[in-house]
């Protein structure tokens, strides 16, 4: 069994925020696999089903981003899922919009949801699917932009142009997840390495 977590903030106010791309991807994956994410347990919404012949649990923490670890730890412990079988899908302001990367271990950016999960699990040895949400022509850095400036950006909605491409981004994220579930993780990491877009990594 694999635990697949999409990160975001609950509520209509945040629904189309850039920070909620993890929720969006999990929702589409649920629709594509006929998994109903409706079970409420410990401040979470979850559903179980099958994807690429793997039993999966789709999880949307309802604790708000900075407390995501509470929900993840509870569900992982309740279902006895080890850290090595956890996959987290999250926004990444250091990548251009639409770029999809796969990582394992410590994050190279500050992300309050990832920090919360790592602290709760007492480990960073889970797979992450990083979804680039930076605007066209630039990326963000804590050194040059500051945490509050980045946070304010993340809590703005996708633009019309970005929404026109969102299905393509979600499809690319699903393709990355499919690779993680069906191929050697080291091969996947080498193809989806930093600086390599999903489109390039498929060639």
* C-alpha angle 162-166-168 in degrees, rounded to nearest 5: 125
Task: State the pLDDT confidence band at 153, using cuts at 50, 70 and 90.
Answer: very high
Nearest partner of 98 among 21, 185, 17, 188, judged by Cα? 21
Is the pLDDT reported for residue 201 higher than 60? no
Per-residue pLDDT of 30-47, as tens digits, reads: 999 999 999 998 899 999
Task: Tell me what the mean pLDDT of segment 60-88 comes to.
Answer: 96
Is the pLDDT reported for residue 199 higher than 50? no
Strand duo 44-51 + 39-40: pairing: antiparallel
Average pLDDT, the chain: 91
The Cα 30–Cα 72 span in angstroms is 18
Per-residue pLDDT of 106-140, as tens digits, reads: 888 899 999 999 999 999 999 999 999 998 778 89
Among the four given CATH numbers 3.30.565.10, 3.40.50.1470, 1.10.510.10, 1.10.275.10, the one describing domain 2-201: 3.40.50.1470
């Amino acid at each position: 069994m694999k635990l697949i977590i999409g990160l975001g903030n609950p509520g209509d106010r945040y629904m189309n925020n850039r920070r909620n791309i993890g929720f969006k991807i999990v929702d589409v994956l649920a629709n594509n696999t006929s998994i109903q994410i409706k079970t409420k347990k410990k401040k979470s919404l979850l559903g179980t089903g099958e994807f690429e012949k793997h039993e999966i649990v789709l999880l949307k923490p309802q604790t708000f981003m900075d407390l995501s670890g509470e929900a993840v730890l509870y569900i992982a412990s309740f279902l006895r899922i080890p850290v090595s079988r956890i996959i987290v899908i999250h926004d990444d302001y250091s990548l251009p919009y639409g770029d999809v990367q796969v990582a394992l271990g410590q994050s190279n950016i500050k992300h309050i949801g990832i920090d919360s999960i790592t602290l709760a699990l007492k480990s960073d040895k889970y797979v992450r699917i990083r979804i680039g949400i930076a605007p066209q022509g630039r990326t963000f850095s804590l050194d040059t932009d500051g945490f509050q400036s980045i946070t304010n950006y993340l809590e703005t909605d996708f633009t019309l142009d970005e929404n026109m491409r969102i299905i393509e981004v979600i499809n690319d994220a699903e393709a990355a997840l499919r690779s993680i579930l069906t191929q050697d993780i080291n091969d996947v990491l080498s193809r989806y390495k930093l600086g390599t877009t999903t489109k390039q990594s498929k060639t």
